[in-house]
């Protein structure tokens, strides 16, 4: 496990650093740490995500937690689901902006409070080290139930937004998970949208889903200039990070976006 527990998440190359056996142990450790009867789990489109999901869910279930399967979602939708469902925690299977060979877990507690190194990840690592890959000691394994919260999530976002003017916008999802929440939202808004790489693809065939790297913004910047868009936005792999581009096709500094 050395090296895969980071400051804010768990992340490593699959299966060299993070495999299904370890995912099972992390599932059991997380269930013990959260002590919750219900945990929501979502995943991204990486090829290893279904395998990690199955192993993680077995671990959660073997500790007696009911799992709510959110399916293919972005990380903000997991946070929303935890609060919306009143779950005791949530786990997103993703390696965020990292290349496709990586995968991992982002974990939050009740009220969608993220768990980091100083707030629980080190304890989860310790507990995972104590869990054998043997049969569970708990005889209270619970079922997995499916929940599709896309429409509820869109309604939630719309309630947060003020009136949205008619704009021309270029959006680069980088073949990550942003489009899962965006597509139903865009149907409700009067926007002219130029879509770049909306299809989720865990191999990230067009560019890495890391908008902090200038080379990954080239297509978006060119699209804004070519179409005369009012602005552009690029998302990372799990859509919990975005970089904006102004009407000239120039990236906007993150501190300015925060000020706005």
* 47 given a catalytic annotation: no
> Active-site residue among 48, 96, 179, 254?
96
For the stretch 215-218, contacts whose Cβ atoms lie closer than 8 Å and that sit 24 or more positions apart, written own/partner, are 216/174, 217/172, 217/243, 217/245, 217/251
- Cα dist from 182 to 55, 103, 204, 254, whole Å: 29, 23, 18, 21
- Residues 247 and 230 sit within 8 Å (Cβ to Cβ): yes
Measure CA of the first residue to CA of the last residue in the chain; give whole Å: 41
Torsion of CA 68, 151, 238, 216, to 10 degrees: 170
- Residues 124 and 107 sit within 8 Å (Cβ to Cβ): yes
- Residues 85 and 38 sit within 8 Å (Cβ to Cβ): yes
**CA-CA distance, 36 to 86, in Å (whole number)?**
11
Handedness of CA 198, 201, 202, 206 (dihedral sign): negative
The residues that are catalytic are 96
């Amino acid at each position: 496990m050395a090296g895969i527990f980071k400051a804010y998440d768990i992340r490593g190359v699959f299966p060299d650093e993070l495999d299904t056996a370890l995912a099972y142990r992390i599932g059991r450790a997380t269930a013990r740490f959260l002590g919750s009867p219900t945990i929501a789990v979502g995943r991204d489109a990486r090829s290893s995500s279904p395998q990690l999901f199955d192993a993680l869910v077995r671990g959660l279930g073997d500790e007696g937690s009911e799992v709510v399967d959110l399916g293919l979602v972005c990380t903000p939708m997991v946070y929303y689901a935890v609060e919306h469902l009143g779950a005791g925690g949530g786990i997103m299977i993703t390696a965020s902006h990292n290349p496709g060979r990586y995968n991992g877990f982002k974990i939050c507690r009740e009220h969608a409070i993220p768990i980091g190194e100083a707030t629980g990840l080190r304890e989860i690592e310790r507990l995972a080290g104590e869990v054998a890959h043997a049969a569970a000691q708990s005889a209270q394994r619970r079922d997995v139930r499916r929940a599709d919260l896309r429409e509820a999530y869109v309604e939630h976002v719309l309630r947060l937004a003020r009136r949205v003017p008619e704009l021309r916008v270029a959006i680069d999802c980088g073949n990550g998970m942003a489009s899962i929440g965006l597509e139903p939202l865009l149907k409700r808004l009067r926007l002219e949208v130029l879509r770049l790489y909306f299809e989720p693809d865990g191999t990230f065939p067009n560019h890495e889903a890391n908008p902090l790297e200038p080379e990954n913004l080239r297509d978006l910047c060119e699209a804004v200039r070519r179409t005369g868009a009012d602005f552009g936005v690029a998302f990372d792999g799990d859509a919990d990070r975005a970089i904006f581009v102004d009407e000239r096709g120039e990236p906007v500094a993150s501190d300015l976006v925060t000020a706005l």
